[in-house]
């Protein structure tokens, strides 16, 4: 089943409906409607993942382009609002409302806007105008591969730092100066437990998804047995659910950005503390001994003066 899902996900470019291939859902059979529904679901999933990867790549590599894309997005919104007033406008809206293509009369660019992102649209759902360079599929694949490689490097670095901190630094025996085998084995066992927990979570998610797929298939089979056809309200309900899911994804993305900013702030503080530690110089032993002797002498003087002050205070009090 995973192989079929991978095949569907990577062939998603052929599933996006074009203007010439527009079809009316009322004339389709139950099997065709089911296939179209699955294609739309996989297409939305693929596009969301792709947009998220592109945004993170651009934020890290070229933050200035985010502002440019935001300006393009604003212009696309204005074009969409003015679209019904122009005679050259040719909107094509599918029955599920998954795609709206609008052509501006003052520019030759085409803005592709999904209705589910009208409130908080992604910066990469609008294509760059024809004056700029378009991102090809080869470049997209390369960007994704670079992102994956960098994430793998970061993961290896984190694992190495955790191993060095928990086993190499904290695990050294103060008597023998060696790392006990028990601590190393305990670290490996803890790592394996974490892997088992993650695997169990993934297995539970896969089981839940399989149950949902089985439930949907049973519903479709029941409708087919009853001879009940899909209605427009079903697609409207699907559109509303899609908008809710996209809204939740946007909220999670905002939370992720906040956590990234917090992590950057903490990393800067860690760098400053590390610089202070690296720049700290141990004083000379002779100077340290002299300072300690001077401190002891000053403490004796302070003690003597305090005793004299107390004697004078008692004498003055007795004279009264």
Q: Which two tokens stand for residue 126?
A: 């609008």
- Beta bridge partners, 110, equal 103
The tens digit of pLDDT for each residue in 195-214 reads: 888 888 888 988 889 898 99
pLDDT of residue 253: 92
Residue 82 DSSP SS3 = helix
pLDDT of residue 161: 82
pLDDT of residue 17: 44
* In the block, residue with structure tokens 């699955």: 38
- Beta bridge partners, 101, equal 112
Residues 17/94, Cβ–Cβ less than 8 Å: yes
Residue 124 DSSP SS3 = coil
Residues 22/101, Cβ–Cβ less than 8 Å: no
Angstrom distance (rounded) from CA 105 to CA 75: 12
Q: Which two tokens stand for residue 115?
A: 């209705």
The residues of the chain scoring below 70 in pLDDT are 1-27, 82-134, 168-171, 173-174, 177, 179, 226-230, 320
pLDDT of residue 293: 93
Q: Is 271 exposed, middle or buried (0-12, 13-18, 19+ CB in 10 A)?
A: exposed
Q: Which two tokens stand for residue 77?
A: 């919104």
DSSP symbols for 226-247 = HTPPP-HHHHHHHHHHHHHHHH
The domain limits of the chain are 34-78
Angle made by CA atoms 115, 120, 124, in degrees to the nearest 5: 80
Q: Which two tokens stand for residue 15?
A: 């599933």
pLDDT of residue 95: 36
Angstrom distance (rounded) from CA 251 to CA 245: 10
Q: Is 121 exposed, middle or buried (0-12, 13-18, 19+ CB in 10 A)?
A: buried
Angstrom distance (rounded) from CA 54 to CA 141: 10
CB neighbours of residue 185 within 10 Å? 10
Q: What are the start-end ranges of the H helices in 164-284? A: 181-226, 232-279
Sign of CA dihedral 199, 204, 205, 209: positive
- Beta bridge partners, 266, equal none
Residue 136 DSSP SS3 = coil
* In the block, residue with structure tokens 């901190």: 165
Angstrom distance (rounded) from CA 243 to CA 249: 10
Q: Is 220 exposed, middle or buried (0-12, 13-18, 19+ CB in 10 A)?
A: middle
pLDDT of residue 130: 44
Angstrom distance (rounded) from CA 50 to CA 72: 19
Find the helix or strand (DSSP H, E) in which 23 lies: none
């Amino acid at each position: 089943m995973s192989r079929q899902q991978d095949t569907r996900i990577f062939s998603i470019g052929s599933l996006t409906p074009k203007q010439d291939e527009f079809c009316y859902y009322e004339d389709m059979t139950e099997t065709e409607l089911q296939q179209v529904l699955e294609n739309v679901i996989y297409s939305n999933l693929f596009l969301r993942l792709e947009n998220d990867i592109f945004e993170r790549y651009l934020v890290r590599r070229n933050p200035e382009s985010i502002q440019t894309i935001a300006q393009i997005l604003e212009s696309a919104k204005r074009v969409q609002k003015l679209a019904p007033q122009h005679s050259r406008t040719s909107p094509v809206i599918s029955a599920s409302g998954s795609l709206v293509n609008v052509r501006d009369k003052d520019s030759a660019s085409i803005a592709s806007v999904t209705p589910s992102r009208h409130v908080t649209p992604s910066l990469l759902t609008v294509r760059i105008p024809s004056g700029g360079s378009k991102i090809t599929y080869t470049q997209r694949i390369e960007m994704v591969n670079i992102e994956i490689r960098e994430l793998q490097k970061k993961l290896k670095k984190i694992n190495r730092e955790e191993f060095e901190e928990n086993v190499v630094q904290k695990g050294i025996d103060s008597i023998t100066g060696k790392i006990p085998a028990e601590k190393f084995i305990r670290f490996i066992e803890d790592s394996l437990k974490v892997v088992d927990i993650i695997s169990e979570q993934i297995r539970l998610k896969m089981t839940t998804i399989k149950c949902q797929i089985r439930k949907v298939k049973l519903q479709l089979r029941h409708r087919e047995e009853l001879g009940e056809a899909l209605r427009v309200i079903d697609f409207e309900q699907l559109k509303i659910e899609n908008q809710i899911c996209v809204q939740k994804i946007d909220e999670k993305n905002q939370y992720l950005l906040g956590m990234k900013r917090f992590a950057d702030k903490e990393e800067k503080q860690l760098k400053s503390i590390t610089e202070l530690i690296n720049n700290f110089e141990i004083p000379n032993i002779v100077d340290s001994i002299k300072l300690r002797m001077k401190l002891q002498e000053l403490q004796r003087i302070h003690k003597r003066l305090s005793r004299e002050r107390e004697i004078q205070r008692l004498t003055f009090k007795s004279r009264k």
